[in-house]
Amino acid sequence: MTWIDWYNALEKPVWTPSPSTIGLIWQILYPIIFISFSFVFIQVVRRKVAWQVALPFVINLIANVLFTPIQFGLRNLPLASVDILIVWLTILWMMVSVWNHYRWVAIAQAPYFVWVSIATVLQLSITLMNRT
């Protein structure tokens, strides 16, 4: 069974966005993430901010990249739920961490936070609806 067949066979809430909508949202968010994360990493390399400011960005990036292989490769809904909770929590941590240094970076994470909040509720719902 392909990953899309597997995903389509899962029970999902009625409000689940279509895969094309999810893809479009990520196409909008990834440039924001790329620019803001790169800026923070460059500031750390230039020693304008401490590495601790970038730590939640690093953890978030790793967790974000791991979500797809966990969800669609391993097809492990509970682990994907833990992973997306890490993504969600690290966005909050990122915003707090960078606020006193570069408020625009913290504010730029707002759409990412809103989307991941929705995606987290969706993921937790799918996980609960497909318990065996």
Residue type, 108: A
Asked if residue 88 lies in contact with residue 60, where contact means CB atoms within 8 angstroms, the answer is no
Residue 84's closest CA among 128, 37, 131, 119?
119
Q: What is the pTM of this model?
A: 0.95
Task: Please state, in angstroms and rounded to a whole number, the distance separating the CA atoms of residues 13 and 126.
Answer: 7
Q: What's the pLDDT score for residue 53?
A: 98
Name residue, tokens 């949202």.
25
Tokens found for residue 73: 């490769």
Domain ranges, ordered by start, for the chain: 23-129
Asked if residue 91 lies in contact with residue 116, where contact means CB atoms within 8 angstroms, the answer is yes
More confident residue, 132 or 36: 36
Confidence of residue 132 (pLDDT cuts 50, 70, 90): confident
pLDDT in tens, 11-69: 999 999 998 999 999 999 999 999 999 999 999 999 999 999 999 999 999 999 999 99
Residue type, 127: T
Q: What's the pLDDT score for residue 93?
A: 98
Task: Please state, in angstroms and rounded to a whole number, the distance separating the CA atoms of residues 22 and 43.
Answer: 31
Phi first, then psi: give them for residue 15, nearest 5 degrees: -90, 10
What are the C-alpha distances in Å from 119 to residues 12, 53, 97, 113, 126? 12, 25, 23, 10, 10
Listing DSSP states for 92-126 in one string gives HHHHHHHHTT-HHHHHHTHHHHHHHHHHHHHHHHH
Task: Please state, in angstroms and rounded to a whole number, the distance separating the CA atoms of residues 93 and 116.
Answer: 14
